[in-house]
Structure 1
Amino acid sequence: MRIADLYIRVSTDEQADKGYSQRLQEDVLLKYCEINAIKVRKIIFEDHSAKTFERPEWIKLLAELKKYKGKTDLVLFTKWDRFSRNASDAYQMISTLRKIGVEPQAIEQPLDMNIPENKMMLAVYLTTPEIENDRRALNVKTGMRQARKEGRWLGVAPPGYINKTRENGTKYVAIDEPEATHMRWSFEQIAEGVFTTQEIWKMAKHRGLKCSATSFRTALRNVGYCGKVLVPAYKNEEMQIVQGLHQPLISEVLFYKAQEMMDGRVRDIGINSSHGILVVVPDKLPLRGFLKCSRCSRLLTGSASKGRNDYYHYYHCQPSCGCR
């Protein structure tokens, strides 16, 4: 009597699809074994995608089959797409199993691997679901691109906005207070050019902004804040910025003024002729980049410190020097 392990796989997005339930697969496989006098050694349930064989239960099964050779003759599943949705990986896994004396077989798409022509049918069974996956992914990508062209803001909302769903199921982003006020204030501070981005982030956090420094810097570059949507370049289409359907948090003028300040393209700059560099000159730190450190002779920078009631500006050297 031959001995078989039953492999039952269903991915999360297939749970509700007709014909893919684990219970149905189990019933079909058990009836097949009963009719064909096959002894069932164990039943393996997998809830994972078949794009690769990096699946927890399959890895355990394969390790067991290699360790205890001869205890199982067959690995049975309902269809070949339950086994794999990647043709190249599937051929390699079939070869691995046959080397340890185990024959993989789909009971609803049976193939005798000793007949050379059946390898062509196997290719059809394996590549069909792979093509379906690729087509589905392409359709999703095309749909998302079209949605962006129509002004929809996709993905996780940045600080100051929140993801919401309407009654009809469509998703959108809405302004989220008080985070929106903190982000608006941050853009205004960036545009003034008095403080560094890091300093503004710290002050915004003190005001109540819940955002990491990295997310904050990324958010400041997001054109969505002024009511626009970025459509990335794709194939022969160039990158474009379209009018968004969401409510802008700041004006375009303020957004691009902040971008210029972060890029260093600001009007209020001085030129330190002795070093040949551009130096940003805020009103409250007019000598930043011109004064020399009394200890190490490097050019002093400047920043603001939070006091009890206000921010106070100081010239200082690099942290390694400590001159203030």
Structure 2
Amino acid sequence: MEKDKFQAVLVRKISRLSRNMLDTLVLLDKFEEYDVKFISYSENFDTGSPIGRLVVQLMASIAEMERNTLSENVKLGMTQRAKEGSWNGGVVFGYDSIEKELVVNSKESEIVQLIFTLYVEGNGLKAIANHLNKAGYRTKHGKHFSINGIATILDNPIYQGNIPLVTS
């Protein structure tokens, strides 16, 4: 906008500009400051008039409320899945995700067992990472093991049997 490279911003709906009312209003002020038109394809309003500005504020509030409601529902769903002992997703070293289920990856699970064995024997995180890297072991993404990666494995409740698994 500052370099006068465009004259308008076109969105399908105002919620595609932002789902935060304050951010939307700040952007609209910037558009006005630089004489950039704001056009919503599916909604018809004129941000230059007081009633148009009110409509935009209401729509931005509704978009923010929808975002917050969706976020809350997702958190509730994930909490319920966790309470039921179900897995909520993500990459877990030692397991593969098959059809939203964790399946033991036998090659990786041996490395996880080695990590716990080394830890129980009194090795620190750095020593464990160094041992694995020198032995040629790699993470799921083919990278060297890090201290944080080892800590994450040791702290992960999945390895404590708190999530039901499918064994291969």
Q: Which category of TM-score, normalised to the shorter sequence, fits these structures? A: 0.7 to 0.9
Higher RCO (CA < 8 A, seq sep 6+): 2
Change (3 A) 1:120 1:185: same
Aligned residue-pair number: 161
Report the Cα offset of residue 75 of structure 1. 4.4
SS at the partner of 2:106? Answer: coil
Partner residue, 1:175: 104
Q: What is the SS of the residue equivalent to 2:46?
A: coil
* Shift in alpha-carbon separation, 1:191–1:247, aligned structure 2, 3 A: farther
Deviations for 1:33-57, whole angstroms, at most 9, x for unmatched residues? Answer: xxxxxxxxxxxxxxxxxxxxxxxxx
User: Is 1:156 paired with 2:75?
Assistant: no
Deviation at 1:173, TM superposition (A): 1.3
Q: Give the conservation status (yes or no) of the 8 Å contact 1:172–1:246.
A: yes
Which structure's residues are more often strand, by fraction? Answer: 1
Q: Which amino acid aligns with 1:210?
A: R
Please identify which structure carries the higher helix content. 2
| Aligned mate of 1:203, from 113, 131, 143 | 131
How big is the shift at 1:185? 2.5
CA contact (8 A) 1:153 1:173 kept: yes
Q: 1:76, CA displacement in angstroms?
A: 4.5
Structure 2 residue 25 is the aligned partner of structure 1 residue 106 = no
Q: TM-score, normalising length from structure 2?
A: 0.77
Structure 1: runs of 5 or more not aligned: 1-61, 166-170, 229-243, 249-324
Counterpart CA distance in 1 for 2:9 and 2:90 is 42
Residue 152 (structure 2) pairs with residue 218 (structure 1): yes
Query: Which structure has the bigger radius of gyration?
Result: 1
1:34 — aligned with what? Answer: none
Q: What's the CA shift for 1:111?
A: 2.4
Question: Secondary structure of the residue that 1:142 maps to in structure 2?
Answer: helix
Take 1:159 and 1:76, find their aligned partners in 2: how far apart are those partners? 44
Alpha-carbon distance between aligned partners in 1 of 2:156 and 2:60, rounded to the nearest angstrom:
42
Could you say what secondary structure the match of 2:87 adopts?
A: coil
Q: Which residue of 2 aligns with 1:190?
A: 119
Question: Using a 3 Å threshold, how does the CA distance of structure 1 residues 209 and 117 change in structure 2: closer, same or farther?
Answer: same
In 1, the alpha carbon distance for the partners of 2:58 and 2:164 equals 44
**Paired residues of 1:182 and 1:207 also in contact (CA < 8 A):** no
- 1:207 Cα offset (Å): 4.2
Find the aligned partners of 2:120 and 2:77 in 1 and give their Cα distance: 36
Q: Distance in 1 between matches of 2:166 and 2:114?
A: 17
Task: Compute the displacement of 1:154 (Å).
Answer: 2.7
Percent of pairs with identical residues: 24
Alpha-carbon RMSD across the aligned residues, in angstroms, is: 2.7
Amino acid at match of 1:246: L
Residue-by-residue CA offset, 1:252-294 (whole Å, 9 max, x unaligned): xxxxxxxxxxxxxxxxxxxxxxxxxxxxxxxxxxxxxxxxxxx
What is the DSSP-based 3-state SS (H/G/I as helix, E as strand, rest coil) of the residue aligned with 1:156?
Answer: coil
Give 1:109 deviation, angstroms.
Answer: 2.7
- Against the structure 1 CA distance between its residues 227 and 247, is the aligned structure 2 distance closer, same or farther, given a 3 Å change threshold? farther
Structure 1 distance, partners of 2:132, 2:12, is: 57
List 4+ stretches of structure 1 deviating above 4 A: 74-78
Instruction: Answer yes or no: is the 8 Å Cα contact 1:189–1:200 preserved in 2.
Output: yes
* Pair 1:129-2:58 in alignment: no
SS of match in other structure, 2:56: helix
Q: Give TM-score, length-normalised by structure 1.
A: 0.43
Instruction: Give a deviation string over 1:57-94, Cα, whole Å, max 9, x none.
Output: xxxxx2443x68xxx4x545443234333221222222
Q: Does 1:246 align with 2:153?
A: no
